[in-house]
Amino acid sequence: MSQPRVDRRQSVKTAGVASAVLATGWTTWGCAAPAPSTDQTLPGPDPAERDLALYALDEAQSAGAKYADSRVSRHWTESVSAREDRITGVSKSESYGIGVRALVSGSWGFTATRELTREAVARAARDAVAIARANDDVAPAETTLAPVAPVPDGRWVTPHETDPFDVPIEEKADLLFRANAAALGVQGVRFVSSSVGSNKESRLVATTDGSLIQQTFMRVNPSMNITAVATAGDFASRGSVADPAGLGWEYVVGLDLAENAPRWAEEAVMKLRALSRRLGYEGTTGRVARCGHGARNHRGAAPIHCRPGRWPSGGHDGVGTSEPGGYLARRLRDPA
């Protein structure tokens, strides 16, 4: 049984307001949707990638696609993390590939490959058409694409001053060490972890409508987690000090992590003091002021049953207590 005709022109017409809202609200890695630009000062496509992207379109059309687009995408990721005065992790990765999408009658097919040769790209394009044709055999429909003006030389780059991948890992580690040291300088703070992640994607899009658009997206993601610990084993953490952003390294520098770390550390200590009062502890001695069936945990829920040598367990919102054999207690005995 044939499926009803799908007319994208009518869909856009009847949902014009909603489409406008969605279009303006679309984001990529925290950036507003970029308008195509022909600014020749921005980097254009790599010649080899451009040839492969256009070759994929030729192969898809030769195989029977009435529309096709291809995307050559390269991703870079990097992460540096530290705890107190030591590096706990450094990772870097890179991925590369091309995806081809084809429209046959009213159905779509998609395939991708990480092998960037003409033979592999031609095979991927033909596979995309074959998948679209098979989909249309199962659920035939007619899809009419909304007309768009071609952008034959579109270019866009995330607004930035410094590419995060141009910053040496040693410089990133030094920033984390300074921030950690500043937080540890606040009395009551015992543990500090911090990290900074960087992501970049180079994406070349080619369509049979005549568009060829080169885009480069960047994102940085700094973070810190500061934990204050009392003698009793109570602890409270302050995290989420910054949001990821679709910007360059200057965003991380502008956060002034080392300058603001003492304030965030003080907030962790204030949370700890509030927790100790709610639990009925004397935070400086670790002595339980209330115990037995009448005591309540810091959420006011189930009773706390205290036994010699055992502390009540804590919550899940960055505050709580530690039992002598628990993870936090082990770290107190052996910070390494």
Backbone angles phi, psi at 312, to 5 degrees: -60, 145
Q: Which residues contact 80 (CB under 8 A, 6 or more apart)?
A: 87, 89, 90, 169, 172, 173, 176, 195, 196
The per-residue DSSP string of 49-63 comes to HHHHHHHHHHHHHHT
Backbone angles phi, psi at 228, to 5 degrees: -100, 140
Contact 273, 298 (CB under 8 A): no
User: Which residue is listed with tokens 């095979």?
Assistant: 123
pLDDT in tens, 5-42: 334 333 333 333 333 333 333 344 444 445 555 566 78
3-state class (DSSP) for residue 283: coil
Helix axes 118-138, 47-62, angle to 10 degrees: 40
Confidence of residue 313 (pLDDT cuts 50, 70, 90): very low
Confidence of residue 170 (pLDDT cuts 50, 70, 90): very high
> Which run of H or of E encompasses 110?
strand 107-113
**Dist. CA 181–CA 304, nearest whole Å:** 36
pTM of the predicted model as reported, rounded to 2 decimal places: 0.71
pLDDT in tens, 255-308: 999 999 999 999 999 988 887 666 555 444 333 333 333 333 444 444 333 333
pLDDT in tens, 217-255: 999 999 999 999 987 777 889 987 889 999 999 999 999
